[in-house]
Amino acid sequence: MSPDPDPRTAPFPVPGRHRSAGAAAHAARPPWRGPRPSPPPSSSAARRAAAQRRGAPQGPAPGERGAAAIVGHMDTPQAPKAVFFDLKRLKKDEKIEVHRADGTTAVFAVDEVDTFKKDAFPTDKVYGDTHGKAELRLITCGGNLTQDRHWDAGVVVFAHLTGER
């Protein structure tokens, strides 16, 4: 299942060493609570249905209060080094710029980068309460490639808003 692009944020290339030609990441309002690739459809559907029953919002846009998520591929058959190929190499305090559809840019600083096995994904840590702060999560696949050519983990970058321009 692919997330729906967030209309408040335009597709954008990730600047510098984390960019791949022709690849873009999208801010997403994820209907799931886990990394891409998402859990089996029945699990995603159950989570989505539960969220809709609770009337839960699907997530903030980058720069809004809460944990905004941007999901991008690490690799694809067409792009062996996709937009988030080097995501796991980001370091604490590195800057991330998110260019928004309204022409403004939200600037974030990396707090930490971690890799989580799919079956142990910390939903609350990734999508939980940010105590009113605007935070960002960059999410891609990672870990080890399985025999059926899927990654067994998700890489998550945790960052906080430092400014807007």
Confidence class of residue 5 from pLDDT cuts 50, 70 and 90? very low
The pLDDT score that the predictor gives to residue 39 is: 35
The pLDDT score that the predictor gives to residue 43 is: 43
Q: Read off the CATH number of the domain in which 136 is found.
A: 2.40.260
Does residue 7 belong to any structural domain of this protein? Answer: no
Does residue 3 belong to any structural domain of this protein? Answer: no
- Looking at every residue in the chain, the average pLDDT score rounds to 74
Does residue 127 belong to any structural domain of this protein? Answer: yes
At residue 76, does pLDDT exceed 50? yes
The predicted-structure confidence for 128-151, as pLDDT tens digits, reads as follows 999 999 999 999 988 888 888 888
Does residue 6 belong to any structural domain of this protein? Answer: no
Residues 6+ apart with CB under 8 A from 138: 25, 70, 72, 84, 87, 90, 96, 156, 157, 159
Q: Please list the residues that pair with 106 across neighbouring strands.
A: 98, 164
The predicted-structure confidence for 36-72, as pLDDT tens digits, reads as follows 333 333 344 444 444 444 444 468 889 999 999 988 8
Does residue 2 belong to any structural domain of this protein? Answer: no
Q: How far apart are CA 156 and CA 50, in angstroms?
A: 24
Does residue 76 belong to any structural domain of this protein? Answer: yes
Does residue 4 belong to any structural domain of this protein? Answer: no
Does residue 56 belong to any structural domain of this protein? Answer: yes
pTM given for the model? 0.69
Q: How far apart are CA 19 and CA 11, in angstroms?
A: 13
Cβ atoms < 10 Å from Cβ of 133: 11
Q: Which domain holds residue 140?
A: 16-164
Q: How many domains does the chain have?
A: 1
The pLDDT score that the predictor gives to residue 116 is: 94
